[in-house]
Amino acid sequence: MSLKKSIYWSVIMVLLLLSVPALAADAPKVDSGDTAWVLASSALVMIMTPALGLFYGGMVRKKNALSTIMFSFVILALISVQWVLYGYSLAFGPDIGHVIGNLDWLGLNGVGQEPNTDYAATIPALAYMIFQAMFAIITVALISGAFVERIKFKAFMVFSLLWATLVYDPIAHWVWGVGGFLRNMGALDFAGGTVVHISSGVSALAIAFVIGKRKGFGKQAMEPHNIPMVVLGAALLWFGWFGFNGGSAVASNGLATSAFVVTNTAAAAAALMWTLLSWYHKRPSVLGAATGGVVGLVAITPASGFVTPMAAIVIGAVGAVISYYAMLFRSKQNVDDSLDVWACHGLGGTWGAIATGIFATVAVNSAGANGLLYGNPGQLTTQIIAVAVTWVYAFVMTVILAKVVDATIGLRVPDEEEAVGLDISQHAEKAYS
Amino acid sequence: MKKIEAVIRPENLDAIRVSLQEKGIIGMTVEEVQGRGRQKGVCLQWRAGEYCVEFLPKIKIDLVVDDKDVENAIEAITKVARTGKNGDGKIFISPVEQVVRISSGERGKEAI
């Protein structure tokens, strides 16, 4: 072989070798373990919404059991379709002005089996989409605890669709979407403290103000009609939350495991703390233990990918104390956020988001940041800004949307329909015959 | 003939049934009811704080007896239903005009 020919072939070989990593970067590879975990997590988060229906359904009076369960179940159907049609595009599509996604991904156009490296490099873009769909669904369903036993079903459907479109989708974009301004600011929210829990909890308070109290609120006892159903719902929420937080690693790895462990730990600490609080005031309460578990899950959500199990105990226990006394406070204010969405999710999420700024450490997640306790007070400030922005936007928008629906369709059922119960008046069905 | 309506603690129903049977009184109708008296209501826990239920679950027994059995029936009930505390219940006695046994058409004492 001539020298000239040798050089020629050598150059070809070097170029080929160099092109291999370039090719790999062009076509990211789907990882089977990551995809399996994210799909399983999506299914886990899916069951949380009907579980929420049971959790809420057991706490209302017998005559409104079906109506309350239906709020969650029908939202699973409604927002699944909204998300596929345009919700995912608004929340995660190409950024417009750091506030919203554009409509390029309308009808999931271009969202396929190949990964989208902006969000998750090792799973199909469709897997990330359906995982996120389950978050949008449960967030909208969470609000329903505020207006049970008195809202007109038609008004509920219209309000929920407007809220998902004009409140959830933008906030999800700000925090999680590429280009979103809170994401750019460095706010940490692993699985949805601001996006899911503050947004729904604060909106619940806002719509409770607009729709007003149930007839007889504060005058007659409104007994939870089936506490075993509440416990079943809470257990399924706890179970599904492993997908909610563990799946938010968007990979089957150590971080997913860490999130799984702190999730269980915080829920346990909060359930224990709530049981002790109720015991201190009267008796160890079953309804209290179930509520406490859920509040612990809420509180750990934003922090779940950034904190240690020891921090999770503090986050869960303190979250329970905050929500417990917030409920007592709320009931004395004569505000009928009937199932305390604000106290559980609004304040649990707020505490969790702030706690993330205190307890976060890069030892858990190198892609995260350190918090106050690890020498970075600036993170706490960033977290507080993200909390404040979410509070204000969710509250103001929800008041506007609720007033618009009230002025056009009317939010409340007539008094006699409220008295007979929504199961019969809105659905022509009875839960128990 | 007299009708005896006894409002009792639910847990005493079976003991009262046995006690009446010992006096030869077999037939009765039983309902789950709610009521209040000097015992008043009870306060239960909500997720945080408590709420009060002003009516308590009780059982009401209706039975119709011949006039001569009235004191026996009262004794049979009070003997087992009395704890001496508020909430033991009450017995109401009123006259009954007629009784008809549906299966045979018998009337009056024969139908009791």
Contact call for residues A291 and A234 (beta carbons, < 8 A): yes
- Write out the residue range of the structural domain in which residue A182 sits: 29-427
Q: Which neighbouring-strand residues pair with B33?
A: B58
- Binary contact (A287, B49; C-beta < 8 A): no
* This prediction's pTM: 0.88
Of B45, B52, B53, the CB nearest to A288: B45
Count how many domains chain A has.
Answer: 1
Nearest chain A alpha carbon to B42: A221
Query: How many contacts, defined by CB atoms under 8 Å, are there between A and B?
Result: 38
- Binary contact (B47, A325; C-beta < 8 A): no
Looking at residue A433, its pLDDT comes to 85
All residues of chain B having their beta carbon less than 8 Å from the beta carbon of residue A278 are: 45, 48
- Binary contact (A291, B54; C-beta < 8 A): no
For residue A405, is pLDDT > 70? yes
Of A224, A323, A328, the CB nearest to B49: A328
* Helices A377-408 and A347-359: angle between axes, nearest 10 degrees: 160
Of A59, A282, A323, the CB nearest to B45: A282
> Considering only A300-309, B18-27, B35-44, which range has the smallest mean pLDDT?
B35-44
Query: Residue B55 has what DSSP assignment?
Result: S
Nearest chain A alpha carbon to B46: A287
For residue A33, is pLDDT > 90? yes
Chain A residues with CB-CB distance to B under 8 A?
Answer: 59, 221-224, 277-278, 281-283, 285, 287-288, 291, 323-325, 327-328, 331, 340
- Binary contact (A287, B47; C-beta < 8 A): yes
Number of neighbours of residue A423 by Cβ within 10 angstroms: 23
At A354, is the secondary structure helix, strand, or coil? helix
Mean pLDDT of all residues belonging to chain A: 95
Q: Would you say residue A173 lies in a domain?
A: yes
What's the pLDDT band for B40 if we cut at 50, 70, 90? confident
pLDDT tens, residue by residue, B45-99: 889 888 888 899 999 999 999 999 999 999 999 999 999 999 999 999 999 999 9
Which of these, A156, A141, A146, lies nearest to A54 by C-alpha position? A141
- Binary contact (A327, B47; C-beta < 8 A): yes
At B27, is the secondary structure helix, strand, or coil? coil
Q: Which neighbouring-strand residues pair with B35?
A: B56
Return the CATH fold of B2-111.
Answer: Alpha-Beta Plaits (3.30.70)
All residues of chain B having their beta carbon less than 8 Å from the beta carbon of residue A222 are: 51
Pairing of strands B42-45, A100-101: unpaired
pLDDT tens, residue by residue, A122-149: 999 999 999 999 999 999 999 999 999 9
Q: Compute the distance between CA of residue A21 and CA of residue A32 in angstroms, rounded to an integer.
A: 20
Tokens of A341: 């969405």
Looking at residue B39, its pLDDT comes to 81
Looking at residue A8, its pLDDT comes to 64
Neighbour-count burial of B110, counting CB atoms closer than 10 A to its CB (0-12 exposed, 13-18 middle, 19+ buried): exposed
Of A59, A221, A324, the CB nearest to B48: A324
What's the pLDDT band for A2 if we cut at 50, 70, 90? low
Q: Compute the distance between CA of residue B39 and CA of residue A383 in angstroms, rounded to an integer.
A: 53
Tokens of A192: 């949805």
Q: What is the CATH number of the domain that holds A273?
A: 1.10.3430.10
* Helices A32-57 and A125-143: angle between axes, nearest 10 degrees: 10
- Binary contact (A277, B52; C-beta < 8 A): no
ipTM of the complex: 0.72
Chain B residues with CB-CB distance to A under 8 A?
Answer: 44-54
**Residue B53 C-alpha, separation from nearest chain A C-alpha, in angstroms:** 6
Q: Would you say residue A187 lies in a domain?
A: yes
pLDDT tens, residue by residue, A38-73: 999 999 999 999 999 999 999 999 999 999 999 999
Which of these, A264, A311, A272, lies nearest to A291 by C-alpha position? A272
- Binary contact (A331, B54; C-beta < 8 A): no
Q: Would you say residue A9 lies in a domain?
A: no
Residue A77 amino acid letter = A
* Helices A153-163 and A377-408: angle between axes, nearest 10 degrees: 140
Looking at residue A28, its pLDDT comes to 79
- Binary contact (A277, B48; C-beta < 8 A): yes
- Binary contact (B54, A278; C-beta < 8 A): no
Looking at residue A19, its pLDDT comes to 53
Q: Would you say residue A1 lies in a domain?
A: no
pLDDT tens, residue by residue, A216-271: 998 888 999 999 999 999 999 999 999 999 999 999 999 999 999 999 999 999 99
- Binary contact (B45, A221; C-beta < 8 A): no
DSSP element (H, E) containing B95: strand B89-95
pLDDT tens, residue by residue, A3-30: 566 666 666 665 555 555 444 455 679 9
Looking at residue A21, its pLDDT comes to 47
List helix spans (H) across A62-220. Answer: 65-82, 88-92, 125-143, 153-163, 169-176, 181-185, 199-211
Q: Where are the domains of chain B?
A: 2-111
Of B45, B53, B54, the CB nearest to A287: B45
Half-sphere exposure (CA, 13 Å, Cβ side) for A371?
25
For an interface test with A, the pick among B46, B47, B54 (most A C-beta atoms closer than 10 Å) comes out as B47
Looking at residue B50, its pLDDT comes to 87
Contacts of B44 (CB under 8 A, 6+ apart): A223, B50, B51, B52, B53
Phi, psi for B93 (deg, rounded to 5): -125, 130
**Residue B94 C-alpha, separation from nearest chain A C-alpha, in angstroms:** 34
Looking at residue A378, its pLDDT comes to 96
Phi, psi for B31 (deg, rounded to 5): -130, 150
Nearest chain B alpha carbon to A344: B47
Of B44, B48, B53, the CB nearest to A328: B48
Q: Would you say residue A3 lies in a domain?
A: no
